[in-house]
Copies of this chain bind each other. A is one copy, B any other.
Amino acid sequence: MNVDFGNALASEAVTGVSEGSLERLDDRVRRAHDRIESGIGDREFGYASLALPEDTDPGAIRSALEGFDPEAVLTVGIGGSALGAETITAALGRSEHYSLDNVDPERTRELLEKLPLESTLLNVVSRSGTTAETLANFLVVRKAMAEAGVEWTDRTVVTTGDSGPLRALADEHDLPVCPVPDGVPGRFSALSAVGLVPAAALGCDIEALLAGGAVGQAALAPSLFECPAYAYGAVAYALETRGATTNAFVPYAEALEPLAEWFAQLWAESLGKDGLGQTPVRALGATDQHSQLQLYRAGRKDKLVTLLRPREREDEPIPETDIESLSYLGGSTLGGLLDAEFEATEASLAAAGQANVRLEVDRLDAESVGRLLYELEAACVLVGELAGVEAFTQPAVEWGKRAARGLLGGGDFEEATAVEEKTVRRVE
């Protein structure tokens, strides 16, 4: 990706960082880079994520999918087990990919009624094989397939760890299985089978996605001034320490809306620790100019606004019109309008002293998307190093999982008791 942090400098933005500070920070970036490189080399827990472009075997994914030529893919997974795959297929225009990444009964029913089950590939993803939401949805989908006369074992691929109930089930029914790579947390797994199976099943060039990741990896360098991923991470970190505790992530492309969700998980779950971490806010340009821009310009200066766009798009002309006050639109294009809005918003934030960073990719093709995912991950890992937080774990999530399991009668957990003791202060 291409990074332009001109509008995040102290000369432009209230919470901005000076060139001198960035130069001093660059010493720490160099040390962090050494740490990251050695972690990658040794395939240490978490750091192994940044080795996926070399470690993922696209051939194995294609083998697992041999014989499938689905009309649609239904991914059953949640969090990192769904978001990477959704992000990649959406960015590459594969609208035939659907996800059950929630346990909403109405949504589940509606989706199952709509999908052509006899030509849908069911893609079940859970590292442990015990994720309650995923397994509950899997049981519901399996029953719906049976009721529709579809043999589920003929239409299911599983991505899971080496052991657990999902692995056992796959072995029992001889289902194709893709591995979840060791040492790679879910939110960093987009460039493994976890993120690539639906893309491959729908005809995307997963080799090019991985090649893009490899370009991102090759671009890692011991200076933020030489490496786009680190430039973005270092500036985000510097701004957070100066009060930008929110990171509004605003792609200017509908196909990148899931990327904003993926980014929100990456940033929140990796960096939200020890009382630190920017709150990611997902937004969408140009739509959210009519929703969030008032706040970003005139509210607290506690934000970094990250603006992202592809430099090239397949465009659509705006027809000429005889309506005089609109004639300036005729002859332009929808993409031209969107780009004008992008630049106008960026300048409007700068004029208000609101820090912002511009990220650009050449276009939304497999290589650019693979590189973008890799570089945003590397940026996140760098922030973790600079902030001194452990980016690869998510300990705070466990409490709620135990409480929910206890409430459902899945064992004796003291957290479930705490739920019963809620302080109630009700107004109806």
Cα separation A362 to B132 with both chains bound (whole Å): 26
A298 CB within 8 Å of chain B: yes
| Residue in A226, A287, A321, A344 with the greatest tally of chain B CB atoms within 10 Å | A344
Known contacts: A255-B107, A404-B341. The answer to whether A396 contacts B275 by CB under 8 A is no
Q: Are A9 and B425 in contact (CB under 8 A)?
A: yes
A241 CB within 8 Å of chain B: no
- On chain B, the residues within 8 Å of A367 by CB distance are none
Q: Which of B6, B186, B397, B410 is the one whose CB lies under 8 Å from A423?
A: B6
Q: Are B292 and A264 in contact (CB under 8 A)?
A: yes
Q: Are B291 and A268 in contact (CB under 8 A)?
A: yes
What 0/1 readout, one digit per residue, does chain A (246-278) give for beta carbons within 8 Å of chain B? Answer: 101000011100000100110011011111110
Cα separation A165 to B327 with both chains bound (whole Å): 11
A59 CB within 8 Å of chain B: no
A400 CB within 8 Å of chain B: yes
Known contacts: A295-B279, A337-B408, A347-B422. The answer to whether A400 contacts B289 by CB under 8 A is yes
Q: Are B130 and A326 in contact (CB under 8 A)?
A: yes
Cα separation A409 to B289 with both chains bound (whole Å): 20
Residue count of chain A within 8 Å CB distance of chain B: 146
What 0/1 readout, one digit per residue, does chain A (1-32) give for beta carbons within 8 Å of chain B? Answer: 01111111101100000000000000000000
A43 CB within 8 Å of chain B: no
Q: Are B275 and A300 in contact (CB under 8 A)?
A: yes
- On chain B, the residues within 8 Å of A93 by CB distance are 106, 110
A303 CB within 8 Å of chain B: yes
A142 CB within 8 Å of chain B: yes
Q: Are B400 and A341 in contact (CB under 8 A)?
A: yes
A148 CB within 8 Å of chain B: no
A50-58, A65-73, A411-419 - interface stretch: A411-419
A384 CB within 8 Å of chain B: no
Q: How far is the CB of A227 from chain B (nearest CB, A)?
A: 7
Q: Are B139 and A337 in contact (CB under 8 A)?
A: no
Q: Are A323 and B103 in contact (CB under 8 A)?
A: no
Known contacts: A328-B411, A340-B408, A428-B228. The answer to whether A422 contacts B105 by CB under 8 A is no
Nearest opposing residue in chain B for A261, CB measure: B291
Q: Are B279 and A337 in contact (CB under 8 A)?
A: no
Cα separation A299 to B324 with both chains bound (whole Å): 53
- On chain B, the residues within 8 Å of A253 by CB distance are 104, 106
Q: Which of B104, B340, B428 is the one whose CB lies under 8 Å from A407?
A: B340
Q: Which of B168, B313, B321, B337 is the one whose CB lies under 8 Å from A133?
A: B337
Q: How far is the CB of A228 from chain B (nearest CB, A)?
A: 5
A200 CB within 8 Å of chain B: no
Q: Are A426 and B2 in contact (CB under 8 A)?
A: yes
Q: Which of B4, B11, B397, B408 is the one whose CB lies under 8 Å from A293?
A: B397
A178 CB within 8 Å of chain B: no
- On chain B, the residues within 8 Å of A294 by CB distance are 268-269, 272-273, 394-397
Q: Which of B246, B321, B334 is the one whose CB lies under 8 Å from A104?
A: B334
Q: How far is the CB of A230 from chain B (nearest CB, A)?
A: 8
Q: Are A287 and B404 in contact (CB under 8 A)?
A: no
Nearest opposing residue in chain B for A240, CB measure: B300
Cα separation A424 to B360 with both chains bound (whole Å): 13
A282 CB within 8 Å of chain B: yes
Q: Are B140 and A319 in contact (CB under 8 A)?
A: yes
Q: Are B142 and A319 in contact (CB under 8 A)?
A: yes
Cα separation A189 to B282 with both chains bound (whole Å): 24
* In the complex, the 6 A-B pairs of residues with the closest C-beta atoms, listed nearest first: A272-B295, A79-B290, A328-B410, A344-B403, A105-B316, A6-B423
Contacts A8-B425, A269-B292, A272-B298 aside, 19 further interface pairs with beta carbons under 8 A come to A102-B338, A106-B253, A106-B254, A132-B337, A135-B329, A248-B279, A269-B291, A272-B295, A272-B297, A273-B299, A276-B299, A279-B279, A279-B302, A280-B281, A280-B292, A298-B396, A343-B422, A346-B419, A346-B422
27 A–B pairs (Cβ distance < 8 Å), ordered by A: A4-B425, A5-B427, A78-B286, A95-B110, A101-B287, A102-B254, A103-B338, A133-B337, A136-B337, A140-B334, A142-B319, A165-B323, A245-B300, A261-B291, A264-B291, A268-B295, A268-B299, A273-B294, A274-B298, A275-B300, A277-B298, A279-B279, A279-B302, A290-B397, A337-B408, A341-B400, A343-B419
